Structure 1
């Protein structure tokens, strides 16, 4: 058994059982439970701070969600990175699908927590904004989607980068740095829409046009599907390297005859 809590046993036979096992590993150690507590507490304090101390005109569901979900999404990739490390350190053949499904469900639960916190904070305070609940439906869905993409970036980078600390740093520096770099060059500025940071702003503001949804889908394909597809290739190579060599009498029947 590793320090992450994943046993060196054969992969669970069913997707549901394997996903449940990965979900348990998400909070399977004291360090991971503390990380989850910090993530949720950060969102809770951000909502309380804006609702109680912020200008009354800023007390809207959009502004609360932007602050709360953005802050939590900085930490969320760490859980995906740790789950990816579990896969790489496990003995025997490992499957990626249950881990990705568990990571997605875990991220959605964090997004849902932030959604509840924002609803409660706005409901219990006074706002002078003209429409404090404007775009509540889109923002509610966006809150989940923001955390899911952040988590998938974490799993992808966790599979591709050996050290979890470097993968976590990359989950912050790479998307944000690319957004800043593209914005600094006029001809490249339209490509900012293909970075997670740009789509987060649209999703959590509720201002989503048809083009914005297409851009979000592109971000999901590039940063979520793309990174994990590359990670899956590396994981398969690792699985191949961990396969035991065939016995001499199984390598070439003709030589044993």
Structure 2
């Protein structure tokens, strides 16, 4: 995954808000990134519209549209987190992670909201014979945003942990799904599937959330969102303190990820 022309506008004296705004701008600041966001949104729109138009009227529910649409977008969303993490790698030692994570979460939330609007429009403009097509709509709407935020934080975490953006992006797909399948293949480990992102995605996008499911989602956020980013940030800081001087602002980075 290459992204030529990535703007390097990381400063050391800006406020938290300015840093977050700068990171948000960088998230879609190149032609390649804008193309990627367009593809992401288009996939969600096509999934929602296609299922609404082609699927049986009895299956046209908000849950049945939101599941595939949000899931498809969540496959690509981590790429933005990976690229934002790459932007941090050549930064000076005083760079803060929190503004970048906030910007990443806001971008992911915007994608989730777009998916919500696409599904609402698709269901509204078609005829459904389902008994209650809008069942759990509120929970699913919130769930769509939460799914994208967790997916994005997995991207930033693995982007910080791995030097090569392409490998990091592939890992955002292979690691969560692979772990889910492996845990499900062993009876004694099957309960641990609840601590994988895919398991919580299924609950959130079906709207069938109970108190235990919300606790499981919080655990997933802590492990895959907070945990991965904490490890990645510690690794980045260690590399910046291992005796090699951090590149000056505006200088090219020696990192092989560029």
Map of 1:249 onto structure 2: none
- Deviation of 1:119 after TM superposition, in Å, equals 0.6
RMSD: 1.3
Q: Deviations over 1:38-78 (max 9, x none)?
A: 00000011011001111111110001110100000000000
Map of 2:196 onto structure 1: 195
**1:18-167 map, 5 Å:** 18-91=19-92, 93-167=94-168
Determine if contact 2:196/2:220 at 8 Å carries over to the other structure: yes
Q: What secondary structure sits across from 2:127 in the alignment?
A: coil
**1:207-246 map, 5 Å:** 207-241=208-242, 243=245
Map of 2:6 onto structure 1: 4
- Deviation of 1:243 after TM superposition, in Å, equals 4.5
Q: Distance in 1 between matches of 2:109 and 2:199?
A: 20
The answer to whether structure 1 residue 183 and structure 2 residue 223 are counterparts is no
Unaligned runs of 5+ in 1: 245-257
Q: Distance in 1 between matches of 2:195 and 2:240?
A: 32
Determine if contact 2:140/2:204 at 8 Å carries over to the other structure: yes
Name the TM-score, length of structure 2 as normaliser. 0.91
- Deviation of 1:236 after TM superposition, in Å, equals 1.5
Determine if contact 2:12/2:92 at 8 Å carries over to the other structure: no
- Deviation of 1:217 after TM superposition, in Å, equals 0.5
Determine if contact 1:12/1:18 at 8 Å carries over to the other structure: no
Q: Distance in 2 between matches of 1:11 and 1:119?
A: 42
Q: What secondary structure sits across from 2:241 in the alignment?
A: helix
Unaligned runs of 5+ in 2: 247-258
After the TM superposition, which of the residue ranges 233-242 and 188-197 deviates more from structure 2? 233-242
- Deviation of 1:85 after TM superposition, in Å, equals 0.2
- Deviation of 1:238 after TM superposition, in Å, equals 3.1
Quick check: which one's helix share is greater?
1
- Deviation of 1:94 after TM superposition, in Å, equals 1.8
Q: Deviations over 1:165-198 (max 9, x none)?
A: 0000100000000000001111111110000000
Q: Distance in 2 between matches of 1:12 and 1:43?
A: 38
Q: Distance in 1 between matches of 2:68 and 2:117?
A: 14
